[in-house]
Every structure is written in C-alpha cells, then in structure tokens.
Structure 1
Amino acid sequence: MDERGAIPNTSTLPPPPTYDLIVDGYTIAVPPPRSVLPLPGFLRPKPSETDHGTIIRDVSLRCESGEMMAIVGGSGSGKTTLLHALVGRLANLPVTAGQVKYEPAGISLSAKESIALSARKMKDRIGFVRQNDYLLEHLTVRETLDYAAALRLPSTISSSTRHLIVDQTIRELGLGDAADTVVGGALRKGISGGERRRLTIALSLISLPSILALDEPTTGLDAFTAYALLQTLSSLARKGRTVVMSVHQPRSDAWELFDRIVVLSKGDVVFAGRRERCLGWFEDMGMGRPGDRLDEQMAEKGSINEEADGGTGVNPLDWLIDICSVDPRDQGSSQRVSRLIRRWKEGGKTIADEHGPPRQSRVLSYAVQRVSSVQPQEQDMLYAGVDPDEDTPGSQPQALKRPGWARQTVVLTSRATKGVSRDYAQIMGFACQSIGIAVLLGITFLRLGETPSDIQSLKTLSYQHAPCYFYLTLIYAIYKFCETDLVIFDREREDHLYQVFPWLISEYTSTFALHAISSGLFAIILYFLTNMRTENLAANLFIFVAECVLVQLGTVGFALLAASLQRNYAQASLMANGLSIFFLLTAGYLLIHPPVYVDWVKWISVYYYGFRAVAISQFKDRVFACPGVEGVARNQCDGNQVLTGLRIPPDHVVGYYFSGLIGLAIAFPLIAGIILSVYKPGGTRYARKIDPSDSGKDPAAHSDMDISRQRIDVEVRNLGLTWTRISLLTRKKTEKRILSDVSAVFPSGQVTAILGPSGAGKSTLLQLLASRKMNAGVGAGFKPEGSILFNGRPVNKSMREHVAFVEQEDDYHLPALTVRETLRYAAILRLPKAMSRKSKIARAEEVMKMLGLDLCADNLVGGELLKGISGGEKRRLSLAVQMINDPAILIVDEPTSGLDALTANNVMTALNDIARSGRTIILSIHQPRSDIYVDKLDNIILLVKGGQVAYAGPRIEVGPTLASAGYPVPPLYNPADWLLDLASVDLRGDRETITRERVTKLVQLWAESHREKQELESKEEKEEGMREIGGQEERFTPMWIALPLIVERMTKNLWRQQAVFWVRLQQLPFLGVLFLLFYQRLKHGPSGGQDRIGYFQEMVSPVAFVGLLNCIAIFPKDRDLYFHEYRSSAAYSEATFVIGFTLVALPMEILASLLFTVVTNIGAGMQTSPRIFFEYAFAIFALQSNGESFGIIFACITNSLGLSVSCVISSLFSLQKLNKFNQLGFNFHHSIGPTIWDHIGLNSNLVI
C-alpha cells in the first residue's frame, strides 16, 4: 500500500498539554525614541508630552483550555499588540504593569511543572500565525508542509502518520488544488494571495500546539474559506487547545464559534468575557441589541428594503465594532466609547474572571460538528484530544520529543537543497559572475610570460583575483541573508521550528556544490587564460581551485557574520565593507609593513591566506627565463626571491595557509551561529508622532472640487486569459486557464463587486480592466482573448488615463512621511494645475476625514523596520491617494481587506457616494457584511475557480436567479456569504464531488441564460449606444510643480530615517579613516612615491562601490513610488524624478566627498593646495556619483535588488579593468568608466 494511504497507529500522537490563559491589569507603554547617534544628554532632544503614552491599558481577561477567543476592535485599537503580548513577542515594547500567565489545566503537566508559566516559558507550546506570510518560494505547498511536519511533530510519529496529517491539513484548508504548485515569489508566479495565507496557517496547525494564536487569520480569504477555517480552529479548541485570534470581519454565523469576546477601542478594553454575557452587557449599558440601529435606519428611510435576497441578519461582531469605535463622522461616538470604557473599568472585572463550563464536559461536547466526511480516526490523528480518563490523579500524557539536531539537519538540508537547485536566477547569476569576471580578468593578464614585467603581473594576479571575484560574492551574500534567508530564519526560530546550528549546517551543505562549482569554474578559466604555472600542472591547478573554493566559503561565512550582527542591509554592508578594507590591506601585497596595531587583522583575513597560498604555488622554487636580464638584476627572476620580498618565509608551505582558510571557513559561520543563538539585532522600531506644525498643517479651506468627468460604461466580452510556459529543456508546453469567457457590464454611476473564492481570478480581471502589466514568471507568458470596451468602443491608451487602480499591496508608501503629508503631496501631483495649492490641500484634508484618517493624520506611515500606522489605516491611505482626483473609473482590489467592520462600512459608503456622482466603481471583495451587500453594491459578478462566471448582473436579481437554480438564500443569512458558499468547492472528504457538481451546474445555468440574453440584446443594439470619450488634460504634472514637491518629499523621508541618513554621510569619511589607520602620514622621497601609488590605487577603488551602497539604501523605495505614480494620475516625467533624486543626494555626496578629502588628502600628508584639494574632492565626488548612477540604472531595469547589485558590481569591475587596456585600443571606455577620475586625483598627488 502507498505510504500515504496507510492508517497509522493513533497511539503515537500524545494529547497536547492544556493551559488556561490569564491576563491581569496588563499595560504596554510607547517605547522611547532611539537616537541613531550616541549624543550626550544635553544634545538629545527633550521628549515632548506626546512621547509619553500607552498602547494598551489595564487589560484583564481569561481564556480557558477548550475555548476560542476573538479579539475585535477598530483599526488601530491595539489588537495585534495585545496578541503579541499574549504570546511573549513584544520585542522592545515596555510593559509598565500587569502580567500574562498560563496555568496548567487538569494534569497536563508533571508535578514539577504544575505552576503558572509566563508566555516566554510557554514558547514551545504556542503556535503563532503572523499577519504577514514568510514562505520559501521555491517549494511546493505539499513540500512546505511535509518539511514543517518533519520539524514540528514529535519524533516518535511515523512517516506515514506525518503524511496523513499533511494531507488532512491540506484538505481542511482547501489547498488541494494548489498542493503541487510552487509558492512563488517576485520572479516566479505561484499560488494566490489567499492560498499563501492558508498555507501560513497550515504551518502552525500542523504542529498540534497547546496554545494557538492567530493575527488576522481570515484576512485575504473569501467568506467560505474563512468560515471553514474558523470551524477548524473551533474544533481544535474543543479538543483541549486554547485558541486566541484577532479578527476584522468574520461572518455572522461565526459568532457562535467563539467562546469569549474581547472588544478593544484605542487600547482600552470595552468588554472581555464569555460570549453569552457580551450582548447583555451592552444592552444594560443602553446600547440596545444587534438590529436595533438597523431598524432605526430603515425607519428613517421610511421603508424596509424587501428584496428577493432573502432577509439579511445583523452580524453581532460588526455591531460591536460599530458601537465601540470612534467614527469621525459621528460627533457623539467619542463620548459613547468613553462612557463604555469607564463603565467597564468600574464593573467589568468580575465578568472577565468568570470561569467557563466544567472542563471535561466542555472539551468533550462539540459546539461545532466536524464535516461528516472526515473519518473519526483521521480526526484523532490530526486533533489529538484530551482523554477524559486522563483526568484522574497519577495519569500522565505522553511526552513530546521534538526532532534532535541530527534529524533537524537532515530535514533542513533536504529543504534547502531543493530551494537552491530550483533557484535558476541564482544559478545563472553565479555562472555569469564566474565566466564574466574570469574572462575579463584573464584578458587583463592574458598569457603571462617570464619577463620581469610578467613576474610583477603574476604577483599582482595572485593577489588581485581574490578581491575582484569574492567582493561580489560578499555583497550578494549579505543581501541574500538580510533580505530573504535570515528573515525566514528569524520567523521560524521564533516559532522554535529548529535550532541555529542545524540550520547553519544545512545552509552550507546545500550551497556547497554551487559555491564550489562556480568558484572552481572561475579558477579554471582564469588559470589557463593567464598561463599561470604549467609545470606540475595538476597539483598547482588543484591548489588554485581549492584556494578559490575556500576563499568563497570564507567570504560567505563572513557575510553571514555581518548579517547576524545587523539585519539592515545598508548597515550590514557598511560593516562588512569596513572590515574588508582591513582584510585587503593586511594581505601582504598593497602594504608590506602595516602598523603593528592593525597587523594582527591578517590572521582573520581570507585574502591573507589565499594570496600567500597562491603565491607559494606560483613562485616557490621557480626560476623564470627573463631573456636579456643578466647579473644582479636576475634576482628578480628567482621565485624564492619574490616570496622573500613579500615577507613569505622560504620554509612555509601551501598547507600552512590552507589550514588558515579552512579554519576561517569554519570559524566565521561558527561565530555567526553563536551570535544568532544569543543576539537578536534590530527589530521593529515604533515611529514617533510628528508635530502637526512640522507637517505643514494649514487652516481649513474649501477644496472647490469642480472636476468635470464623463460617465464611462465598461464592458468585457468573452474575456479570457491563459498562462503558458514552454520548458527550455523538454520543450513541453504547460497551460493554466485563469479567466474563461467572462462577459459582464460595469455601468457608470454604480458600484460593481466581483465576488468569488480565492484563486478565482478576481485580481487578474481587475488588472486587465486597469491595463496593468502582469508578471508571468521566467520563460512564461499570458495569452489574452476577448475585448474590453469603454462606452462601446475598444479601449486604447488615451482611454486608460481615465482609470485609477488601487492595488492590494500597500508597500509603496514612503515610510517616514505622515499620513497628512502623503495625501497632500498626492493632491498637489494629481489635481489639475488650475486648482490653487490651498484648494488641493483642502481636498486632501477632505478625503482624509472621509476615510477616517484624521485620527492618525500626524503618524508616520512606517514600513518593515519602522512601526507606523496600522494595516487597516495603511489600506485606507492607499484608497485615499487614488480618490484624491475623483477619477472617472475607480478600480479597487479588496478595499475592505484588513479593515474592521466600521471602517469597511465607511470605505464602502465613500465609494458608493463617488459612484452616485457618475463614476464607475469596480471592486473585488472577499467578505462583505450584509448591510454593505444590500446598501452599497449595485451589481454582482460571481466568479468560480478557473475564472468562469456563475452570475453577472444587478444585485437585486441575485435572489430570483439563485431561487430558479434551486438554491434560494436562507432567511436572515448574509446573501454574500451564501453566494460564496455556493461558488466554492469544499475539498474536505466526499463533499468535493458534491460541491464541484453544484459549481458546474451554476456555471452552465448562467451560460445558457446569458447566451439567450446576449442574442436578444444583439438584435436591439444601436449605433447610438457607442459614445465618444473625451480626452482629459495633460497626463504629466509639469516639472515646475512636481520637482519642488519631489525634492521636499524625498528630503523629509530621508531625514526622518536617521539610520539611512547618517550611513550615507558616514561611509566615505569612515572609509578614509580606515585607510589612514594603515598608511598614516605618507613619507616623501623615493620610498614614499611607491607608497603613494599603492595608497591611491587601493583608496580610490572602493569609492564607486560606496555610491552603490548609498543607492541601495534609499533608491528602491523612491523607485517603487515613482512607478506607482507613473501608472496613475500623479504621473510626472522621468527627468523630474531623476533630477529630484539627484538634488536630494547631491549635498550629502558633496559633503561626504569633502570630508573624505580632508581625511585622505590633508590627513595623510599628500601633496595639497586649494586647487589640488578641490580637484581631488571633485574626483571622489565623481567616482561616488558614478557608482550610484550605475546602481540607479540597474535598479530601474529589474526589481530584484540582488540581481541589480550583481550587475552593478560586475559592470564597475569590468569598466575598471577595461580602462587598463590602453595597449589593446580600448580607450573609448575612459569616457564612461570611473578610472578617468582616478587620473585627475592621481596627477594632482604624485608630485613628491
């Protein structure tokens, strides 16, 4: 029998220990701002009153084992912070009062462990699902779960049991269709966003934790999948686990799944207790019951909406969020919330401390039944329940034994090897690096002979080959560790998936072949191109190849060491570059007699050992022919004399230095592993609130929005899209249907919503309507079909300018700007130039209040390393930016994703109001609440998996259409949830066949009715229905408007990111100080001349790379924002963007160049005068600008920062080498290469 079909012995799965969660008076404060520079106390800015505050205040709650608790509240209410506190992941947030503890329930622990534990001590029994997904992009869904199961589950579980658990988890979370699909990433298309979310949740579920905490687990999921997930979590709770989650917009029928409810409002508790007590508490507070406010609103309208939708019930969770949130449009909401908070503090403690039903009956009585198709034995294996017989004195659960080091190493090595072997971009990059640099370096030292000049060249090559090749490896490895590898490592280590050294061993084992082959290929090509030592060829070639491989491994280890100390790429690369200067100068070539206080550095330099190993193999006991050289001059032709000149003792052998290389290749990662074990650098900083005066807060004004927009009806006819890829090796063609024969109308003046399960093609359809380019992946493409019409005419480039598109991702905002500043800059760029600046700013304030952003107007947006506004607030900010200029067609991808119920309703109300003014609103939506569905949506398009249409028409006709198909909407049921239930395939057990047949039936019924309707309409179609679309004003914002704004915006963003600002300013002077440590004051006379040449050559070479590092630190974020604005109504010319970025970077580059010149020119005692000083400074400035310019060029070609870094370094290196080819006639490269600026400074300083 197949291993996955075997029924394992369920006794191998022990029940998890059970715990009760208790929180008492917990308060978390806002952390004090951290200074980037170590300033004295009197120079530090005095903290303002607004700097002192709390994030959450006096939280007390209880959640017992066998219960599921939901934390709800408005956007920015502190849900995520509280959840992190419950699982002990607060990082640098100070706790000022209270405690979080876990008390053992029953006899789940031994007597020794039967005391209450803190969250940190519970780390091995807590499963945590973050709000963001961190996944390995080159593994399939099944492989990801297989490896997670092998690492998370007890080592006593058999392989067949693990496979069955994985299969069951895949079915539970509806990942069956994507089980064998790669996760994908920026350069490779993979699973959908909803599938990524479900996979992240599956990774935590598969570990069978005692405590399961989830941060917004249903965000990005359709209503059907979200409800199925909540059912699964509820079943986990019923079997003894404690489940805690924060939720935004759960379905109304999810209310009964929760045992406890916690309601937060701006950091204060409004309610925390048993679900049964929740509604009664608010009724006693005079808030009424769910539905009362709806009835009042209906009464005010004078009638009740009696549609054929079946009636719509009121979601209690939505109602709670509505009454406990401050609505900027409701003046009385603030007073209402303050009263609720005050009353809870006065009398809520007793409710928070209430116990649930007796534990045994609660655990064994299922409030929610499992899907009937799941076999009982499968449930027992996946959800290890608590045996009631074990609640007797003396009985003990089986101990969980996680995989040990050996098992972790094997599993991680297998996982990493698959990732490396499938990362074709990385493999191609290493191949190009090896061949390209070997050829360029080989041409530079082509066919060396045995003349004195060739001997000097061979000596140079013995040293130069290492920094030329392995510096690129260093930069790329630091980027890879900081941006991908260590990001995933940090998240998985927080989950206690494995220990540090098994990961370290697997990382090196999996990449050893790649590093060995690439560096070996470089060595072989270079060896034969340069005609290195041919006598005893096999031994000498082996020494050179082995030296290159070991230096490569040592360099990667050094990169890991730098990344382990600092996760930020800019700071890690600065650290590594500084130390690399020490390594290069102590290698024994550029500086023969370094000062004693830095000479010790050579013992930790791979370049020192590598250079000497190669030099010994090439020169020891070798006598060069040196034709025409006689007498004493022939000493330079003796290889042993060359080694003596390099201070290499004659009795030293290659093995001596190989031992050093091997030692460093082991020591660097070993030290990095120790650091990773005990030190966690960086972390998320919390942004301070900006003084409104710094944001330019002006008095209120009227926006005078008087933009004339033409009504545009959008129609798609038989639209289809197929993804295709042809294998380069087998030429096999792979196809996947994304959209299939979609026909629909999107009328102006109405809101049209696209519904459907995850992976149905909703986002793809929106991108096609918005004419956005999609990334098909390497070697793949899209094949479109059908047509898109605006007012009956095929869409063209001029018509596309009427469309605004709000993407699902919000990561293009500049992190160091406030919400108010972001909107004001957007208003100035997007609104017509005829409007005054004051009116534009007033429009920004108007939209900000419309979407409830005025409460966080002066907060920084934030980013990955700077905690700013909440996810919901960032989502509203993205929507506000696009709504600034009131576009004719507004397309929004998931406008309510990640928003609480109140904010989602406000956003949809704003979109509905825009539509009523004649605009065309098209949006996709996952989980609309019932009142949004009834009151805010006019048309519905229902897609199923495969991109087929199950319904497309007016919302009011949904009910009759479903009733005629035999699926009427149940009474008091959210029609949107019912639609998604019908259109989804349930992959759990035998329900898959039934639900697939139902979905197929709906698609066929709609296709038949739509065909009849289409034939009828074609007969009545008239030419007058086709309306011309007038042009709109010039798309590009004039430079005289855009340029000052771009400069101001970039300057503010840079200045507020103090770490980046000071790194840009410090790198060059820091580099100069490092050189000064080695060369000190240069001497005059003949001996000083050689020192000056070596000093200048080595000093100038890294300057261009400093410019590259400056580019990497700030440019990608500005580039992303420019590309986003270029595709929208905020477009400005490429010249405006480049000039703006140059003007911001110019002062810092000039200042850094002057400081560098002071240190290296005056400080080192080089020839100087006012003319020489400024010539020297200009040469350094030009070199730095050259490196940054190359970085900008390649960063604009590709979004992959790693690829662009590799290309830039290769290009700079190539130009440096080609500039030395005067004898080959390559002088034209002097006009574009950096070395021309070397000559300016060199000619100024060689006067002895």
Structure 2
Amino acid sequence: MQFKDVTYKVILKGIRTNVEKEILNGITGSVNPGEVLALMGPSGSGKTTLLNLLGGRLNQPTAGGSVTYNDQPYSKSLKSKIGFVTQDDVLFPHLTVRETLTYAARLRLPKTLTKQQKEKRAVDVIYELGLDRCQDTMIGGSFVRGVSGGERKRVCIGNEIIINPSLLFLDEPTSGLDSTTALRIVQMLHDIAEAGKTVITTIHQPSSRLFHKFDKLILLGKGNLLYFGKASGAMEYFSSIGCSPLITMNPAEFLLDLANGNINDVSIPSELEDKVHTENSETETRNGKPSPADVQEYLVEAYETRVADQEKKKLMIPIPIDEELKAKVCSPKREWGASWWEQYSILFRRGLKERRHDYFSWLRVTQVASTATILGLLWWQSESTNPKGLQDQAGLLFFIAVFWGFFPVFTAIFTFPQERAMLSKERAADMYRLSAYFVARTTSDLPLDLLLPVLFLIIVYFMAGLRMDAGSFFLTMLTVFLCIVAAQGLGLAIGATLMDLKRATTLASVTVMTFMLAGGYFVKKVPIFISWIRYISFNYHTYKLLLKVQYEHITPNVNGMKIDGGLKEVSALVAMVFGYRLLAYISLRRMKLQTGA
C-alpha cells in the first residue's frame, strides 16, 4: 500500500461564511505485506483521519493526493479484502463470543464456502485469538456482565480477520487496556503481519516494549508529517537533527513530546536556538525557549529537507505485482458473502437472539401484567346491557387502543439510533444489503412484540367481562396486533429520520398525544380544520374496530361514533404499517456512512 501527498480538509460552517480547516497536509508513506505500520501523534494530530482515509472510510471530495493498493486506486471490491477495527468495541452485548464470530463468518465469507466451512473458520479464529475459554460467554455491556476488555478487543479483531484480509486497519486497539494485555494484542498483530498481511494501526502512547514491536512509524503533528520510516530508526533520525532526550525516556513518550512542541528534557538544535535569539520577544517564552509552534515548524522543515524527497523517490520505483492480483483489486464489482435471503435469515435469527433478553425482562413482563390486572379490577365484570355500562366499557376499549399505540412507538424509536454504530460498521464492511437488514430488523421484532399483548388481553378480556365468544376474542386480538404493527412503524420512521433519541422522543410524544386526543373519545365535535388528524391516527381506527367487534350486535352507534363495516379502518392501518416503514427505510438509505463507497 502506498500513499503520496495525502491531504484532507473539513469545511466548518460559520455564521456568515464557511471556513476550511486542514486536517492532513502532504502525508507520504508506504507499507508492505509482513509489516506493522504505527500512526503516532498527540490527540488532534490527524491519526484517525489518516487511518480512515487509507481504509476507504472517508468521503473523498475534500481529500487530495493518491492512495493505491497493489498500484490500484480504491474500489468497492476492496471492502472484502480490508479489515477495519474501530476504536469503540461495537458488539451486541447479549450474543456469545462464538455466536458473534459465527454470524460474521456466515455474512462475510464468500458464497463458495458451505455453512459448515464458515462455522469452522469462526472456530479456528476463536482458537487463533485465544478466546476458547470464553467462547460461550456473552460479550456483555453497560448493564450486562460479560468478557473482559482485552477479550472484547480480540473479538473485534476476530470479526475482521475472519475474512483473512490482505489489509488490516486498527484504531487505537490498546486504548483502555493494561500494559500486559496491550502487549498481547500488539504481539498478535505482529503474528498476523508475519502471515503475509499488511497491518496499519494508530497508537496513542505505547510503552517502550510496545513501541519496539512496530516495523514502521509515522509521526504526525497538527496534520503534518514529522517522521516516516523504520520505528527502530526514529530516535537516530531525531538525534541527527539535534533533538535527543537529556534523560532516559520511553521513545514513544519522547516522540509525543516533540510532536506537541514540548522540549523539556530535550536538547535544542543550534538552528532553533539561533532562530529564537534573532526573533523578537513575542515568539519567546519567559525562559527563552522556543514556542511549540517554532518546534513544530522546525521539525516539519527538517523532515521536508532531509527525508521527504528520498521517500517520494522510493514510491516512484515500481513494485512487481501479479497481474491477476491487480485485476482482482481494481474490479468494481461488490462480492456479497451470502444471497439476499441468506442475509435476511441470518440477521433475523441474530436479532431474535440479541433482543429476547430485553423483551422478556421481568420489568417489562411485570409492567404489562400489572397494567392488565389493574384494568381488569377497575372494569371487573362490567356490563354492556345498559347505556352507562356500555359507556364504561367503551372507555376501557379506548384505553387499550391508546396503550397499545403508545407502548410500541416508544419501544421502536430506540431501534435504529441504538444500532447506528453497528449498522455503520457493518455496512462499511459490506456485510449485507441494507434492505435485508431492514426487513430482518423489523420482522424479528414481531414475534417478540406480539407475545406480551396476548398476556395482556387474556388478563383484561376475561376479568372485564367483554363479549364472551371465541370470534370476538380473536378479532380483538387481531385488531390490537394491527395497531401495534402500525404504531411500531411510526416509531421506526421517527427514530430513523432523526437518529437522535431526545429529539425523536419529543416528536413521538407530541405525535402520540395528538393522535390520542383526536382518537374520537375525548372530543366528539372536532373543528373541521383539524378533524383530518383523526384519519391518520391509529388510535382512532383501532378504537372504531374494537367498538365494532364488541357492540356491532347491540347498537350501530356508540358515544356518537358510527359503527360501520370496518374495511376503511383496516385499510388505513395496513397503509400505515407499510407507509411508515417505507419512510424509515428511505431515511436509513439516506443516512451518511463513513465509507469510501
């Protein structure tokens, strides 16, 4: 992999004008199979931006320079040959280590392999990474106990090396780990590189033991290249330009101090001392030492004049590359690891396994069962034979319509915002089609979502003494199910459109409250300019259907609401089921991802 004069800018939107900020400025380097390249620099120096750019994870319009893989530019087909481990461990907390890697293998490995071969590859990776002792342990998360931090990081790496990538990118794989675990991770990266892979990783502040494990090093300072070359030659290079530590220091600590412009305990080169003496006092600190900006400028100039041209000349020398390999790299065709139906079925099963714990938590079951019991006691064996009793029962039916309209909306809102990081990560790696994910994600919720309403209705229906025949009971259940699926669609659409839980919750609260008020129970004579809201309210249509099921045989009119054939209400709810979901899918399709595609 080679990159030459790489630049990257971001446009900051101001009140009056937009301002361009340069993040990377003329970065040049190369890395070959069998090597581990470390990107080092202080916070804000551009390490992660450079890594994302090299890995094809950034949009290209504001990027400059050239990045080539086997002498070819980035193409979509490269996604299946690149592994990218993000800094955050994006994993499903309720899946075990084996399940996580097995699903990744089945989605990412080529179609030519059988299901058994893919599962065997997952097991091989588990043993390769030393995860066999915890393979049946849940990953865990904030509220779920699971594997250790080092094991989580190895699972993330396993997710990427499962495809046997030619290039492996890692963003600070040792952050948050103790020194021994960090050393084990870096040693593992070294072993991966020795197998003929190219490994590029950012690293923040490695120990001296870690530092010596790297083959090549890029040192960045405020987006500028301060050093590129062998990691073992970095100290010698900086000594040659007059910067060497005055006390025994960890090489990485010394290099980061230099990149920050901090020259305490560092010898100052004579050229820099002369510059400080000749410049006016505004550029000097109180003790007469050069400012960080002066140090930065000196290091950039020193690299440009002494090393940069030599490295650029090396990149001009053509590397012999197999033509068949070159053709594979430049192929624009995406290669999916599974057919659409296979992707759907794998994601459906994964969704069921991941979310069953949340849906059947004792808190949620208790919430539904206790609400149903309280309703049953309040409307205990109510009668519809007299107008007062019928009106009371109509109030219960309205509450059921509101409860099963409100509850699913606020459950579904969290769906896409909570999975945004996972969706971005997996789509960036071309693990599946968005349509397969969307259909699997929305249908895997249905079996789980429809079990609690059954419990709710069994308790309420018989305690409240509603119409006692099998047909009415099952029609009531079907009506509630239709309401739930329509309400879910609204929640999915709001969550996918806003992708922000606070804003989504606020909008959903206002929308559900408006639908409830326009639902035909609180206000009978709604002003004509606002009466149209009831026709897009699932509460209104559900309430009318529930009244029809219970009282069609008694009266054609309940609470001033005419009971008709019910076809309009069913059609409206079905339209909402598909319409809201279509809106959610379009919103997801437009969601910006950090990919080069």
TM range (shorter): 0.7 to 0.9
Structure 1 counterpart of 2:303, one-letter code: W
Q: CA deviation at 1:469?
A: 4.2
Q: 1:346 to 1:661 in 2, by over 3 A?
A: same
Q: CA deviation at 1:191?
A: 0.8
1:463 corresponds to which of 398, 402, 426: 398
* Distance (whole Å) between structure 2 residues aligned to residue 100 and residue 357 of structure 1: 15
Runs of at least 4 residues of structure 1 off by over 6 A?
A: 391-399
* Distance (whole Å) between structure 1 residues aligned to residue 431 and residue 587 of structure 2: 18
Number of the residue aligned with 2:591? 679
1:86 corresponds to which of 54, 57, 79: 54
- What is the correspondence of 1:5-24 to structure 2 with a 5 Å cutoff? 20-24=1-5
* Distance (whole Å) between structure 2 residues aligned to residue 234 and residue 434 of structure 1: 53
* Distance (whole Å) between structure 2 residues aligned to residue 436 and residue 392 of structure 1: 65
Q: 1:407 to 1:608 in 2, by over 3 A?
A: same
* Distance (whole Å) between structure 1 residues aligned to residue 531 and residue 255 of structure 2: 69
Structure 2 counterpart of 1:564, one-letter code: A
Number of the residue aligned with 1:418? 353
Q: CA deviation at 1:239?
A: 5.7
Structure 2 counterpart of 1:576, one-letter code: A
Number of the residue aligned with 1:478? 413
1:102 corresponds to which of 51, 56, 68: 68
* Distance (whole Å) between structure 1 residues aligned to residue 92 and residue 253 of structure 2: 36
- What is the correspondence of 1:794-833 to structure 2 with a 5 Å cutoff? none
Q: Secondary structure at the match of 1:554?
A: helix
Number of the residue aligned with 1:661? 573
Number of the residue aligned with 2:43? 75
Structure 2 counterpart of 1:619, one-letter code: Y
Q: CA deviation at 1:471?
A: 1.6
Q: Secondary structure at the match of 1:117?
A: coil
Q: CA deviation at 1:180?
A: 1.5
Number of the residue aligned with 2:303? 344
Q: Secondary structure at the match of 2:140?
A: coil
Number of the residue aligned with 1:142? 98
Structure 2 counterpart of 1:429, one-letter code: L
* Distance (whole Å) between structure 1 residues aligned to residue 20 and residue 326 of structure 2: 48
Q: 1:519 to 1:208 in 2, by over 3 A?
A: same
Structure 1 counterpart of 2:44, one-letter code: G
Structure 2 counterpart of 1:117, one-letter code: Y
- What is the correspondence of 1:350-499 to structure 2 with a 5 Å cutoff? 350-353=309-312, 354-355=314-315, 359=319, 400-423=335-358, 426-449=360-383, 450-479=385-414, 481-482=416-417, 484-499=418-433
Q: Secondary structure at the match of 1:327?
A: coil
Number of the residue aligned with 2:556? 640
2:74 corresponds to which of 117, 130, 134: 117
* Distance (whole Å) between structure 2 residues aligned to residue 256 and residue 164 of structure 1: 34
* Distance (whole Å) between structure 1 residues aligned to residue 161 and residue 327 of structure 2: 30
Q: Gapped runs of 5+ residues in structure 1?
A: 1-19, 34-43, 106-114, 299-313, 361-385, 623-638, 684-1248
1:547 corresponds to which of 468, 479, 497: 479
Q: Is the 8 A contact 1:139 1:183 kept in 2?
A: yes
Q: Is the 8 A contact 1:172 1:229 kept in 2?
A: no
- What is the correspondence of 1:1067-1216 to structure 2 with a 5 Å cutoff? none
Q: Deviations over 1:756-794 (max 9, x none)?
A: xxxxxxxxxxxxxxxxxxxxxxxxxxxxxxxxxxxxxxx
Number of the residue aligned with 1:589? 521
Structure 2 counterpart of 1:605, one-letter code: S
Number of the residue aligned with 2:454? 520
* Distance (whole Å) between structure 1 residues aligned to residue 405 and residue 255 of structure 2: 60
Q: CA deviation at 1:610?
A: 0.9
Q: 1:86 to 1:601 in 2, by over 3 A?
A: farther
Structure 1 counterpart of 2:23, one-letter code: I
Q: CA deviation at 1:612?
A: 1.4
Q: Is the 8 A contact 1:27 1:95 kept in 2?
A: no
Q: 1:505 to 1:480 in 2, by over 3 A?
A: closer
Q: CA deviation at 1:476?
A: 3.5
* Distance (whole Å) between structure 1 residues aligned to residue 49 and residue 95 of structure 2: 31
* Distance (whole Å) between structure 2 residues aligned to residue 30 and residue 262 of structure 1: 25
Number of the residue aligned with 1:177? 133
Number of the residue aligned with 2:284? none
Q: Deviations over 1:934-970 (max 9, x none)?
A: xxxxxxxxxxxxxxxxxxxxxxxxxxxxxxxxxxxxx
Q: CA deviation at 1:358?
A: 7.5
Percent identity between the two aligned chains: 29
* Distance (whole Å) between structure 2 residues aligned to residue 117 and residue 218 of structure 1: 28
Q: Secondary structure at the match of 1:324?
A: helix
Q: CA deviation at 1:545?
A: 1.0
2:27 corresponds to which of 45, 60, 66: 60
Q: Gapped runs of 5+ residues in structure 2?
A: 266-288
* Distance (whole Å) between structure 2 residues aligned to residue 80 and residue 393 of structure 1: 29
Structure 2 counterpart of 1:261, one-letter code: L
* Distance (whole Å) between structure 2 residues aligned to residue 525 and residue 350 of structure 1: 80
Q: Is the 8 A contact 2:207 2:250 kept in 1?
A: yes
1:297 aligns with 2:297: no
Q: Is the 8 A contact 1:520 1:548 kept in 2?
A: no
Q: Is the 8 A contact 1:60 1:349 kept in 2?
A: no
Q: 1:176 to 1:65 in 2, by over 3 A?
A: same
* Distance (whole Å) between structure 2 residues aligned to residue 145 and residue 99 of structure 1: 36
Q: 1:130 to 1:141 in 2, by over 3 A?
A: same
- What is the correspondence of 1:827-1226 to structure 2 with a 5 Å cutoff? none
Q: Is the 8 A contact 1:26 1:95 kept in 2?
A: no
Q: CA deviation at 1:152?
A: 1.4
Q: CA deviation at 1:542?
A: 0.5
Number of the residue aligned with 1:282? 238
Q: Is the 8 A contact 1:172 1:232 kept in 2?
A: no
1:208 aligns with 2:183: no
* Distance (whole Å) between structure 2 residues aligned to residue 675 and residue 53 of structure 1: 29
Question: Which structure has the higher relative contact order (CA within 8 Å, separation 6+)?
Answer: 2
Q: CA deviation at 1:603?
A: 4.3
Q: Secondary structure at the match of 1:219?
A: coil
Q: 1:667 to 1:393 in 2, by over 3 A?
A: closer
Structure 1 counterpart of 2:64, one-letter code: G
Number of the residue aligned with 1:573? 505
* Distance (whole Å) between structure 2 residues aligned to residue 597 and residue 509 of structure 1: 37
Q: CA deviation at 1:519?
A: 0.9
Q: CA deviation at 1:572?
A: 0.4
Q: 1:185 to 1:395 in 2, by over 3 A?
A: closer
Q: CA deviation at 1:273?
A: 4.2
* Distance (whole Å) between structure 2 residues aligned to residue 560 and residue 421 of structure 1: 19
Q: Is the 8 A contact 1:564 1:675 kept in 2?
A: yes
Q: CA deviation at 1:517?
A: 1.3
Structure 1 counterpart of 2:139, one-letter code: V
Number of the residue aligned with 1:199? 155
Q: Is the 8 A contact 2:80 2:335 kept in 1?
A: no
Q: Deviations over 1:1180-1213 (max 9, x none)?
A: xxxxxxxxxxxxxxxxxxxxxxxxxxxxxxxxxx
* Distance (whole Å) between structure 2 residues aligned to residue 22 and residue 95 of structure 1: 17
Q: Secondary structure at the match of 2:413?
A: helix
Q: Secondary structure at the match of 1:557?
A: helix
- What is the correspondence of 1:227-238 to structure 2 with a 5 Å cutoff? 227-237=183-193
Q: Is the 8 A contact 2:337 2:431 kept in 1?
A: no
* Distance (whole Å) between structure 2 residues aligned to residue 79 and residue 324 of structure 1: 12
TM-score (norm 2): 0.83
Q: 1:394 to 1:463 in 2, by over 3 A?
A: closer
- The number of residue pairs the alignment matches comes to 566
Q: CA deviation at 1:664?
A: 2.5
Number of the residue aligned with 2:542? 610
Q: Deviations over 1:693-720 (max 9, x none)?
A: xxxxxxxxxxxxxxxxxxxxxxxxxxxx
Q: 1:55 to 1:440 in 2, by over 3 A?
A: farther
* Distance (whole Å) between structure 2 residues aligned to residue 404 and residue 602 of structure 1: 42
Q: Secondary structure at the match of 2:247?
A: helix
Number of the residue aligned with 1:217? 173
